[in-house]
Amino acid sequence: MARNVLLAHPVPDPARVIARICGSPGEVGLVLTGIALRQEKVSGGRIEEERTYGGRPVSALDEPVFIGSAIAQLAGHCDAVVVDRLATWVERLLERFPDDPIERDAEIASLVSVLQARMADLVLVAGAPPESAAARALFERALAAVAENCEQRFAD
């Protein structure tokens, strides 16, 4: 059965910890939330690329907002999927949906749904809490929802 892992605290070298958790020889997918909204590849949608992360090749997607569907896309052919930086993701949610808490809640629900489906091992890197009060509050809500569906949590 697939497992859900949360790196709940800021980790100095998340790639090293992720490499340890995803130590299996299977294929690893990576969802990177750090891309700016203005840099999204809109015309062709997401573009999956092979990159190196934590010293191993991964199938990577740059996805700042719709991470639930990005995880599902990668889980279709990967044994494990890593989402790097939930803190950045909630900042992007606020940027994309500044006046629409229903859309933000829908994206959190989408992430929880993917966690519950257990399509692949899933490692979520929380990252350092955001600085703004609004982003920090959304981050804490998202972490609480995610943590309920993770059986392992690591600080390092």
Domains (ranges, CATH) in the chain?
4-154 (3.40.50.300)
- List beta partners, residue 152: 5
Query: Could you read off the pLDDT of 125-141 as tens digits, one per residue?
Result: 998 899 999 999 999 99
* pLDDT over 70 at 109, yes or no: yes
Which H helix or E strand runs over 23?
none
For the chain, the maximum distance between any two Cα atoms, rounded to a whole number of angstroms, is 43
Residue linked to tokens 């629409």:
100
What average pLDDT score do residues 18-39 get?
78
Tell which residue, 105, 88, 86, has the closest CA to residue 143: 86
Whether the pLDDT of residue 105 is over 90: the answer is: yes
